[in-house]
Amino acid sequence: MRTALAIAWSVLLLGLAAAHPPPRANPRELLRFQGHPGTVTPPATATPLVLVALGTEHPFAASEVRTFGFTDVPPTEPPPGTRFVLQGARDLLARYATARPDQTVTILAEHRPGSSDLFVLTLDLCPPR
């Protein structure tokens, strides 16, 4: 009796599990930008972007843009003129907002394709100040 009850219970749970699709995984990617802030007319080799930090738009000349995907779909580079809104710790965003054009800025951020938000993981300024 107990064996039959255990088998019936297992079949019921298996049926319930099969009835629900697996949870959707939100695709995401990591973006790495390196370049100079405040450059309104970037050099021909740079990708012009607009990065919004603390509610203010800042032109950014990206000399290097790399995208790292986590799915089988190959990642695509953002086209020139793309506008991203930086999200993250206020101190990181303030460091970017006050960066000088002579400083090289490197940003590593998480991005969800189709969104304009970049979730800043780390930000480096060279020289530091």
Domain that holds residue 57: 29-126
Domain annotation covers residue 109: yes
Domain annotation covers residue 55: yes
Residues in Cβ contact with 76 at an 8 Å cutoff, skipping those fewer than 6 apart:
67
Confidence tier at 23 by pLDDT (50, 70, 90): low
> Which tops the pLDDT comparison, 45 or 119?
119
Domain annotation covers residue 5: no
> Which tops the pLDDT comparison, 112 or 86?
86
Residues in Cβ contact with 62 at an 8 Å cutoff, skipping those fewer than 6 apart:
33, 34, 35, 42, 46, 47, 48, 49
Specify the pLDDT at position 74: 75
Domain annotation covers residue 8: no
Distance CA 65, CA 127 (A): 20
Question: What is the reported pTM?
Answer: 0.75
Q: What is the mean pLDDT of residues 96-107?
A: 93
Domain annotation covers residue 14: no
Residues in Cβ contact with 34 at an 8 Å cutoff, skipping those fewer than 6 apart:
62, 63, 64, 104, 105, 106, 107
Tens digit of pLDDT for each residue in 41-51? 667 888 899 99
Tens digit of pLDDT for each residue in 52-77? 999 999 999 999 999 888 777 777 78
Classify the phi-psi angles of 76: left when phi > 0, otherwise alpha if psi is within -120 to 50, otherwise beta. Answer: beta
Q: How many domains does the chain have?
A: 1
**Mean pLDDT, the chain, integer:** 84
Domain annotation covers residue 91: yes
